[in-house]
Amino acid sequence: MPVRKCFLRAVTCGQSGTARLFIFRNGVRALAWVCTLLFGSLLATAGLAAQVPLPKPRPAQAPRTEPAVQTDQREAPVDAAPPSQAAPAVAPALSACRLALTDAIAIAPSLPPIRGPGDCGGEDIVRLEAVVVSPTQRVALKPPAVLRCTMATAVANWVRADAAPLAASLGSLLSEVDNFDSFECRGRNRVKGAKLSEHGRANALDVRGLRLANGTVLSLTDRNLSRDIREKVLHSVCTRFTTVLGPGSDWYHEDHIHLDIAERRNNYKLCQWNVYDPMPQIAPLLPAARPDEAPAHTPEEEAGETAGEPEGRAEPPAQDSDAAKRKPPRAASGSKPAARPERRP
C-alpha cells in the first residue's frame, strides 16, 4: 500500500471510532505542549534580557589597559612589514678578532669604522690604550694608538710575550710604549702622491722607545743603548710583524721603528733595521810630535807639513823681529839648507 494511504488511514481511518478519537486527541495535546514550550522559552529569554544590566561607562581616571594593537601584532600575518623597518638598527656582529681581544689582554675600546678620505680608513678599528700584562701590570700606549683590531692584537702580543719580559730581565717593569704614530691618512714617508702608507689603513705603529717603571727609557734607535737590547727587540719585532723599518732602511726611519702587518705574496717579510755601533766617544788624536831621529823632510814634505800642520803645532808667530832672528828655522836643524833663498844664511 502506498505510504500516503497508510498515513491517512492511521489518522482518520482507524480500526474503530474510539481508537481514531484517541489518536486525534493525543496529537492535539502534543501539539499544544510543543507550542507552550516554545512560547515559554521565548518569554523567558525576553525576561532575562530585560533583567541583565549593561556595563557602566569606564571612568576617566581608570588605569589604561593594554592597547588592542598588541593583540593585533601578535596575530599579524607573516607577510606583514618586516620588523627591521620599525625596530631600531641592530649592531653588527663582532669580529673574531674583537671577541678575542678582551679586557684581559688589552684596554682597547672599539671605534667606528674609518672611511676616507680617499682610500684611507678601515673596519674593526680600536683605540689601543694599554696592554694588560698581568692583573697588576698594564703597559700604556702613549698616546693611545688607533689601529685595526688585528694590528692592535699583534702589538699586544709583542708587548706581553717579548717586550715586558725584556724589561723584567733588566730589573724593572715595562710601563709605557712610546707611540710616535698610528693611524694617519698619508702617503708613504709622508711623501705627497706616494702610495698609501699602512698608517693610512690603521695598520701600522711607529715606536720610538720603551719606558720602564724605574724611569729608564730604552730609545730603540739610540746607538748608545746596549746592542744586546736593541738586537733582542729587532729579532722579536721581525718575527711578529711583516714590516720592520728602522735606522739604515731609508732616511725616514732614523729616529723610530716602523711596524706593520701588511700582507704580501708568499708571506714575504721586510726587516730592515741596522743596529749601529756607538759613535766614537772622543775626537781623533792629534798626530804625535815628530821625533828628532826621524829622517829629514824633503823640501816638498816640509812645505806640505807646514801648510797642513795643525794649528797647535804651528810655529808661534813672531812677536817681534828680534825673536824671529834669534830662533833659527826648523829646517836648519840638521837638515840641508833650505832651498828658500830667504833662509839661506
Nearest to 177 by CA among 209, 129, 146: 209
Nearest to 239 by CA among 128, 157, 321: 157
> How far apart are the C-alpha atoms of 161 and 158, rounded to whole Å?
5
C-alpha cell at 190: 709622508
Per-residue DSSP letter, 264: -
**Residue/partner pairs of 330-336 with CB below 8 Å, 24 or more apart:** 331/297, 331/302, 334/296, 335/296, 335/297, 336/296
User: What's the min distance (Å) between Cβ of 261 and Zn ion?
Assistant: 12
Q: By CB under 5 A, what part of segment 55-114 binds Zn ion?
A: none
User: What's the min distance (Å) between Cβ of 221 and Zn ion?
Assistant: 13
Size of the site for Zn ion (CB under 5 A): 3
User: What's the min distance (Å) between Cβ of 288 and Zn ion?
Assistant: 49
**Cis omega before residue 92 (within 30°)?**
no
**Does position 124 bind Zn ion by CB under 5 A?**
no
User: What's the min distance (Å) between Cβ of 311 and Zn ion?
Assistant: 46
DSSP element (H, E) containing 57: none
Q: Between 148 and 258, name the residue whose CB sits nearer to Zn ion.
A: 258
Given 124, 178, 206, 302, the residue binding Zn ion (CB under 5 A)? 206
Q: Between 129 and 181, name the residue whose CB sits nearer to Zn ion.
A: 181
User: What's the min distance (Å) between Cβ of 197 and Zn ion?
Assistant: 7
Site string for Zn ion, 253-282 (x = CB under 5 A): -----x------------------------
User: What's the min distance (Å) between Cβ of 93 and Zn ion?
Assistant: 31
**Does position 208 bind Zn ion by CB under 5 A?**
no
Q: Between 40 and 248, name the residue whose CB sits nearer to Zn ion.
A: 248
> How far apart are the C-alpha atoms of 84 and 208, rounded to whole Å?
49
C-alpha cell at 148: 685595526
- SS3 category, 244: strand
Q: Between 208 and 258, name the residue whose CB sits nearer to Zn ion.
A: 258
**Does position 178 bind Zn ion by CB under 5 A?**
no
**Does position 201 bind Zn ion by CB under 5 A?**
no
Hey, what amino acid is at 39?
F
Binding-site ranges for Zn ion (CB under 5 A): 204, 206, 258
